[in-house]
Amino acid sequence: MNPSAQPNPETSSADQTTPSAREARYSEFVSLLARHDQSIRRFARSLLPSGQGVDDVMQETALECWKKYESFTPETAEDAAEEFIRWACVIARYKVLSWQRDRGRDRLVFREGVIEQLAQTAMRDLSQRERERNAIEACLKELEDRERRLVLSVHAPGESVAKIAEETGIKVRRLYSKVNALRKRLADCVQLRLLEEG
């Protein structure tokens, strides 16, 4: 994958596909972008001295990612999610550099060398967060549906332990104890998976 590769719109393979194939490809792109939007945003934010410019960089990054999406060719479908975020962050790094160059007279911009160092650090952090996120998702799948709903109810909009207590007739205090036990189980599961991965 070469994020700097410029697709030729005249010979774009995406343009030669059927409308339904192109629509499926676009849906795949939107799904990956939506899934990793916050991680890409955190990455871009870490390269900027203030919050200023993050929205501009994100917009430019999303547009550039779509323009070059046909050059995004992960080894396997299973690798797509992890490779996409790395690919998109490389593009985001270029967009940050471009954004900063456009504002070179501003005292609050970093030199390119600083951005490169920050990007390397952020990419390492990104890898660790992705490993943790994948481990959490895998461990959540090991729970029964009702257990998963309960543990996620603390964070999911529209869900709450009180609501589940009302629906099931189980006391709130007992459900909170169950949530704590499930959290401990999840933490142990995640730690074990991360240790096994090395």
100-139 pLDDT, tens digit per residue, is: 888 866 666 677 888 888 888 888 888 788 888 889 999 9
pLDDT digit string, tens, across residues 67-111: 999 999 888 877 787 889 999 999 999 999 999 888 866 666 677
In angstroms, the CA 80 to CA 128 distance is: 17
Lowest mean pLDDT among 43-47, 119-123, 177-181: 119-123
Closest C-alpha among 26, 143, 6, 133 to residue 81: 133
> What rounded mean pLDDT belongs to the chain?
84
Calculate what percentage of the chain has a pLDDT beyond 70. Answer: 89
Residues whose CB falls within 8 Å of the CB of residue 64, separated by 6 or more in sequence, listed in order = 91, 94, 95
Domain boundaries, the chain: 21-126, 143-197
Q: Which CATH class is domain 21-126?
A: mainly alpha
